[in-house]
Amino acid sequence: MKMVILDGYTENPGDLSWDALHRLGDLTVYDRTSLTDEAEIIDRIGSAEIILTNKTPITRHMMDSCPSIKYIAVLATGYNVVDVAYAKEKHIPVSNVPVYGTRSVSQFAIALLLEVCHRIGHHDQTVHAGKWENCADWCYWDYPQMELAGKTYGLLGCGNIGIHTAEIAHALGMRVITYDARPTEAGRKVAEYVDLDTLFAESDILGLQMPLFPFNTGIINKENIAKMKDGVIIINNSRGQMVVEQDLADALNSGKVAAAGLDVVSTEPIRGDNPLLTAKNCIITPHMSWGAKESRQRIMDCTVANVSAFLAGTPQNVVNP
């Protein structure tokens, strides 16, 4: 079958191999395709029967314009870039990669927190700039240092990533509480389930580890920030749309929120007018939590398995059954 990957670079910038997919069919790989130029997307799909995409949208119009499409594989967990309902109407199964970055994303959440606590990157830069060499004292720090033992880590969401984040937080001596609409036994082993108001009120660090739902879109807003402790730290490497960014920026600038560590924002790539870019004590990384080579290899392996299953007539990980 003829296959096309519309935006392969982020998944594989050169350190992985597409060979397993090449063996399954006639594969064309584009590193990047415009996210907004429908004509380009349609042209690149052409007569392909299997479409692989990460963030390039596949719309109703594109499916109508490319009647050869028989299967769509998303190189990620989130699949909102595909009109899955219309794909179902056209009997086009859409598969995703349901679990791949649990360890990497939870590790990165704690990395953001540790960066907030110690500003290692900043202090490395000052040392290389000569500040330590010319310091009157034998050491210095430009930001207050924070010890995490004894603090309360509140998790908004306690799925696989939240559970592994909680395990690391415990190893650092922290108490862990969580809110999740679907408590599990695995969650109960690592965290105390509480209601939302308790989560906001008792957390020294609030970590967002939940997929985006209508109820949590904009949940980090001025009303809920007001319920939090003065000096709370907010960590988000889940979904940027959970945060009302102007409200968080205002809280950072006022000191109500002591610091934020963010790997996601509401519009990505980030726009130059995002208020968090100029907010105090706000660390922002470019949605890279998932990007460890090991995680991306799992995406590759699962995608190969997804395509193979479709070709065998038994599609798996289908999100529009």
The pLDDT value given to residue 4: 98
Are 137 and 236 found together in one domain? yes
Digit-coded pLDDT (tens) for 231-276:
999 999 999 999 999 999 999 999 999 999 999 999 999 999 999 9
Are 64 and 121 found together in one domain? no
Catalytic member of 119, 164, 239, 298: 239
Are 139 and 261 found together in one domain? yes
23 is catalytic: no
Count structural domains, the chain. Answer: 2
**Residue 316 falls inside a structural domain:** no
Are 256 and 189 found together in one domain? yes
Are 107 and 198 found together in one domain? yes
Catalytic member of 89, 223, 268, 294: 268
The pLDDT value given to residue 72: 98
**Residue 262 falls inside a structural domain:** yes
The pLDDT value given to residue 66: 98
Are 22 and 55 found together in one domain? yes
**Residue 321 falls inside a structural domain:** no
89 is catalytic: no
Model pTM score: 0.93
**Residue 49 falls inside a structural domain:** yes
| Residue 102 CB partners (closer than 8 Å, separation 6+) | 160, 161, 164
Digit-coded pLDDT (tens) for 189-210:
999 999 999 999 999 999 999 9
**Residue 320 falls inside a structural domain:** no
Name the H helices within the chain.
19-22, 38-45, 60-65, 84-89, 102-118, 120-128, 160-171, 185-190, 196-202, 222-226, 245-254, 293-311
**What number is the average pLDDT over the span 15-33?**
98
The pLDDT value given to residue 253: 98
Are 79 and 144 found together in one domain? no
Digit-coded pLDDT (tens) for 45-100:
999 999 999 999 999 999 999 999 999 999 999 898 999 999 999 999 999 999 99
The pLDDT value given to residue 52: 98
Are 135 and 20 found together in one domain? no
**What number is the average pLDDT over the span 222-235?**
98
| Average pLDDT of every residue of the chain | 97
**Residue 251 falls inside a structural domain:** yes
The pLDDT value given to residue 219: 98
**Spatial distance between the Cα atoms of 217 and 32, rounded to a whole number of angstroms:** 29
pLDDT confidence band for 2 (50 / 70 / 90): very high
Are 121 and 35 found together in one domain? no
Digit-coded pLDDT (tens) for 152-170:
999 999 999 999 999 999 9
The CA-atom distances, in angstroms, between 52 and each of 3, 20, 317 are 8, 14, 14
The pLDDT value given to residue 90: 98
The pLDDT value given to residue 203: 98
pLDDT confidence band for 288 (50 / 70 / 90): very high
Q: What is the dihedral of CA 269, 271, 275, 280, to 10 degrees?
A: 60
Are 159 and 249 found together in one domain? yes
**What number is the average pLDDT over the span 140-150?**
97
Q: Which domain holds residue 11?
A: 2-100+295-311
The pLDDT value given to residue 88: 98
Give, in degrees to the nearest 5, the angle at Cα 247 between 241 and 251. 125
First to last CA, the chain: 22
**Spatial distance between the Cα atoms of 167 and 161, rounded to a whole number of angstroms:** 10
The pLDDT value given to residue 160: 94
Q: What is the CATH number of the domain that holds 89?
A: 3.40.50.720
**What number is the average pLDDT over the span 304-321?**
98
**Residue 256 falls inside a structural domain:** yes
268 is catalytic: yes
**Spatial distance between the Cα atoms of 49 and 70, rounded to a whole number of angstroms:** 5
**Residue 60 falls inside a structural domain:** yes
**Spatial distance between the Cα atoms of 86 and 183, rounded to a whole number of angstroms:** 33
Are 258 and 127 found together in one domain? yes
Are 75 and 209 found together in one domain? no
